[in-house]
Structure 1
Amino acid sequence: MGLLPFISSLALGYLAVSNPSFFLNLSLSQQVLFWISTVFVMGLALCPTTFLAMFVGYIWGFQGIWPLIVAYSLASILGFGMAKLWKGHAMIRWIKRTKKGAQFLSNVQAQSFSWVFLARLSPIFPFAITNAMMSFLGVSFLDFCLAGMIGMLPRTALAVWTGTQAKSWEYLLHHPESFSWQDGASLVLLVLSGLGMYFLARRQVKA
């Protein structure tokens, strides 16, 4: 689970630095094939979504954000649907084994839109795992799609902006001080997400 994303990130980073014109000169059919591939790459957790967003920003700038959003949404649906096939009954039984766990499950199901939004907003929640967890917890498909798309916009835009500002992947790796503004924004998203989840978890679900 960790090795494949690491290898794919290295491969994309190397291609972006060594031959960016390769991606800029793709034909229309090749571009369509590329974006279809990204759906499966993200949906199957083969590459970190944040890294892919940085890659898109580095190659295409903000022009690439719209196909990225579409690919991101389709990848979410793919992961959500695959998790539905696995059902996750064992995890649900494990959560329900205590009264607090059962209340938490009811809370998530009753306020699914807010939970999905905050999970997507936070930069620390892994994309594929969040897809599976929300499916296992019984979040509605509509809430998952809408809240997920809204929640992922700030962090995706931030990652794309980071890619547009980078002179090269080597500069990003060897000059972490250049991330000061982005890191601050990521921290704000993390704090907002954590506080939101805390207040949601404390809210009593109305019968």
Structure 2
Amino acid sequence: MRFRRKLFFEIGYLVWMGLFPFISSLALGIVAISNPSFFINLDLGQQILFWLATVFVMGLALCPTTFLALFVGYIWGFQGIWPLIAAYSLASMLGFGIAKLWKGQAMIRWIKRTKRGATFLSNVQAQSFSWVFLARLSPIFPFAITNALMAFVGVSFLDFCLAGMIGMLPRTALAVWSGTQAKSWEYLVNHPESFSWQDGASLGLLLVSGLGMYILAKKQVSS
């Protein structure tokens, strides 16, 4: 009974990490549409507070990282990419640390209940740098869920930080560029065909990530 209750809370934690960011992004989008000059006119101290806030917003899964990258591109253009990457990195550490406190023992035990699951888990732990890099590279892997899962399976902190930062660079740059091209949030939503090449680039990142994960998984099957 205790195991089931702990597993329930751990799964609920992951659901929070996946669903809540999409809800909160609506509020940020409304503010950006109604008053973009508010963010443009922030002074240095206010900008520092804003970026510190984004660390907690992303680390606690209060807003999707891709949406935030679009927002940054729309407001500040590529000038915002470096503080955004720094905020991503700190948010990753925060999310990883919180997940470590949860430990995920029930979920790991549940995964290990089959031989295939145990073998896969060992594979991720043995090739943690590659798995983190590919998970971050893929546009479909939620930022916060990746933080939690990698902490649960025992990925080393150094591998998580380095591989995560490298993997996030292409998709972050792509999202920021998309934000710079939007005349307004309404235009971005109502004219997605204007950004067809970004769709192709996102698909390319997804294919590279998927193929890489397939190759890593085949290694664990053959070992």
TM-score (norm 1): 0.96
Q: Would the aligned equivalents of 1:87 and 1:136 in 2 still touch at CA under 8 Å?
A: yes
Q: Which amino acid aligns with 1:57?
A: G
Out of 30, 49, 52, the residue aligned to residue 36 of structure 1 is 52
Q: How many residues align?
A: 207
Structure 1 residues 37-63: Cα deviation after superposition (integer angstroms, max 9, x where no partner): 101111111111000000000000000
Post-superposition shift, 1:15?
A: 2.2
Structure 1 residues 128-158: Cα deviation after superposition (integer angstroms, max 9, x where no partner): 1100000000000000000000000000000
Over the residues paired in the alignment, what is the CA RMSD in angstroms?
A: 1.6
Comparing 2-11 with 29-38, greater Cα deviation is found at: 2-11
Q: Which residue of 1 aligns with 2:136?
A: 120
| Counterparts of 2:79 and 2:177, CA distance in 1 | 11
Q: Which amino acid aligns with 2:150?
A: M
Q: Would the aligned equivalents of 1:110 and 1:205 in 2 still touch at CA under 8 Å?
A: no
TM-score (norm 2): 0.89
Out of 99, 103, 125, the residue aligned to residue 109 of structure 1 is 125
Post-superposition shift, 1:204?
A: 3.7
Q: Specify every segment of 5 or more residues in structure 2 that has no aligned partner in the other structure, as ranges.
A: 1-15
| Counterparts of 1:206 and 1:187, CA distance in 2 | 28
Q: Percent identity?
A: 85
Q: Kindly indicate whether residue 94 of structure 2 is the aligned counterpart of residue 78 of structure 1.
A: yes
Q: Which residue of 1 aligns with 2:184?
A: 168
SS across alignment from 2:196: helix
Q: Which residue of 1 aligns with 2:106?
A: 90
| Counterparts of 1:121 and 1:9, CA distance in 2 | 21
| Counterparts of 2:171 and 2:153, CA distance in 1 | 24
Post-superposition shift, 1:192?
A: 0.6
Q: Which amino acid aligns with 2:32?
A: A
Out of 34, 38, 49, the residue aligned to residue 18 of structure 1 is 34
Post-superposition shift, 1:8?
A: 2.6
Do the aligned partners of residues 138 and 205 (structure 1) sit closer, same or farther apart at CA in structure 2, a change above 3 Å counting?
A: farther
Matches within 5 A, 1:4-15: 4-15=20-31
Out of 75, 85, 110, the residue aligned to residue 59 of structure 1 is 75
Q: Which amino acid aligns with 1:100?
A: R
Structure 1 residues 155-203: Cα deviation after superposition (integer angstroms, max 9, x where no partner): 0000000000000000011112112111110001011101100100111
| Counterparts of 1:113 and 1:3, CA distance in 2 | 26
| Counterparts of 2:179 and 2:213, CA distance in 1 | 29
Q: Would the aligned equivalents of 2:120 and 2:220 in 1 still touch at CA under 8 Å?
A: no
